[in-house]
């Protein structure tokens, strides 16, 4: 106590607050020997982590509970009286781990997650080597992926770096017109035999002209994969065309879906067409053709011919072939028989079997879908 204390006031004489240093202080503890907090000042050595530290400036006692990192001066001669020494916390001159600017607690947390993941993988690798096993091939990748996930999650938490996903713009369905669909071929098995069950195409299409009113219905066999409405529209448009049977004003055609029709135009698979044509003594299986089954109410249109056409018209004249197919079979229902072309190069009559051939007895004619092609 005969040196200079930490605050530069001589310990003998009168201290700053007017109380003699020697004698009994305010709390009843003699000053010579043990200071206020029980640690002698002289012969004390600064201690860090349990090891003495040389300090040329002498020992500096620090009250208990002072600033973090300070050490206490301990008198070796009275250490047994003071109890076991407890090392103080980390010294102030030891640098703390730096935190990246702008990341804060989130950055430290994510960095820790990445480090923990890498350490875990490395521990597995080391354990495998000690036991004589090869390092798993996925271990380096797992470490890298864990670090990448930590970085990616950190980046995703920053709104200024976040990429807003864009939804793909859905493509608009291609809508074909009636004329386009009528020129298009459709896939179908030439030997297809459907269920034999028919379904009427719903709707009403009024007769557009004058003359005798002929009401008809359109049926389509279920499950053949062809568009019923397209077929029904084609029948109505074709029969009422000025070049067709209604062209001279003697008759007009009206489509119904209920009530009593004069006949039923039926689109059916090749197998079902054959069944209905045989009811009237006709064989359509040889050339896979259509027929008017006169002993029944049905005018049978072979779905294979409707979908694929014929070699006589070719794939580029599908619209014209379908018009011919309707006019030809309805012509039979109206009482017309087969005729053939007699003038080479002329348009074939609509009642000629144009699906089979355009060359009859050496006379070759051109394809024609109309009753009155010049109208």
* pLDDT per residue as tens digits for the range 290-338: 999 999 999 999 999 999 999 999 999 999 999 999 999 999 999 999 9
Angle at 330 between CA 228 and CA 366, to 5 degrees: 100
Percent of the chain clearing pLDDT 90 (strictly above): 52
Domain assignment present for residue 33? The answer is yes
Residues of the domain holding 45? 1-96
Domain assignment present for residue 265? The answer is yes
- What tens digit of pLDDT does each residue of 15-63 get? 444 444 444 444 444 444 444 444 444 443 443 444 444 444 444 444 4
Same domain, 223 and 327: yes
The tokens describing 257, both together, are 């879906």
Residue 133, C-beta contacts closer than 8 angstroms, at least 6 positions apart: none
Q: How far is CA 301 from CA 48, 131, 219, 286, 354, in A?
A: 106, 80, 10, 15, 14
Q: What is the pTM of this model?
A: 0.57
Domain limit, last residue, from 96, 131, 154: 96
Same domain, 77 and 212: no
The tokens describing 126, both together, are 């080391």
DSSP states along 200-217: EPP--B---S-SEEEEEE
pLDDT of residue 173: 81
In which residue are the tokens 């049977």 written? 245
CA pair distance 53, 73, nearest whole angstrom? 11
In which residue are the tokens 């305010």 written? 26
Angle at 185 between CA 270 and CA 203, to 5 degrees: 75
The tokens describing 222, both together, are 């279920």
Split into its structural domains, the chain has a count of 2
pLDDT of residue 282: 97
Same domain, 296 and 189: yes
The tokens describing 254, both together, are 């009206």
CATH assignment at residue 195: 3.40.390
Reduced to 3 states (helix: H, G, I; strand: E, B; else coil), residue 292 is strand
pLDDT class of 168 with cuts at 50, 70, 90? confident
Longest CA span, the chain: 152
Domain limit, last residue, from 96, 113, 138: 96
Question: At residue 263, does pLDDT exceed 60?
Answer: yes
Domain assignment present for residue 275? The answer is yes
Domain assignment present for residue 127? The answer is no
């Amino acid at each position: 106590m005969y040196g200079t204390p930490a605050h530069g006031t001589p310990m003998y004489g009168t201290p700053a607050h007017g109380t003699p240093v020697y004698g009994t202080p305010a709390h009843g503890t003699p000053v010579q020997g043990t200071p206020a907090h029980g640690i002698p000042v002289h012969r004390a050595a600064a201690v860090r982590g349990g090891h003495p530290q040389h300090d040329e400036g002498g020992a500096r006692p620090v009250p208990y509970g002072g600033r973090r990192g300070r050490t206490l001066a301990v008198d070796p001669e009275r250490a047994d009286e003071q109890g076991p020494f407890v090392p103080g916390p980390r010294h102030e001159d030891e640098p703390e781990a730096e935190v990246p600017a702008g990341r804060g607690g989130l950055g430290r947390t994510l960095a820790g997650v990445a480090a923990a993941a890498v350490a875990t993988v490395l521990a597995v690798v080391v354990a495998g080597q000690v036991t004589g096993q090869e390092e798993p091939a996925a271990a380096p990748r797992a470490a890298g992926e864990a670090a990448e996930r930590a970085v990616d999650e950190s980046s995703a938490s920053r709104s200024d770096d976040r990429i807003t996903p864009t939804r793909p713009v859905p493509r608009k369905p291609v809508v074909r017109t009636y004329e386009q669909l009528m020129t298009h071929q459709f896939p179908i098995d030439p030997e297809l035999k459907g269920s034999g069950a028919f379904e009427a195409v719903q709707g009403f299409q009024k007769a557009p002209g004058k003359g005798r009113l002929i009401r008809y219905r359109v049926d389509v066999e279920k499950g053949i994969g062809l568009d019923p409405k397209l077929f029904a529209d084609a029948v109505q448009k074709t029969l009422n065309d000025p070049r067709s049977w209604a062209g001279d004003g003697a008759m007009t055609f009206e489509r119904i879906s209920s009530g009593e029709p004069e006949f039923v135009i039926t689109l059916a698979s090749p197998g079902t067409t054959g069944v209905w044509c045989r009811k009237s003594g006709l064989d359509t299986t040889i050339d896979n053709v259509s027929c008017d089954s006169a002993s029944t109410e049905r005018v049978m249109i072979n779905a294979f011919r409707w979908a694929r056409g014929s070699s006589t018209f070719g794939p580029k004249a599908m619209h014209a072939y379908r018009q011919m197919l309707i006019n030809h079979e309805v012509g039979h229902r109206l009482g017309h028989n087969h005729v053939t072309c007699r003038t080479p190069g002329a348009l074939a009559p609509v009642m000629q079997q144009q699906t089979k051939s355009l060359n009859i007895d050496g006379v070759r004619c051109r394809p024609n879908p109309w009753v009155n092609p010049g109208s």
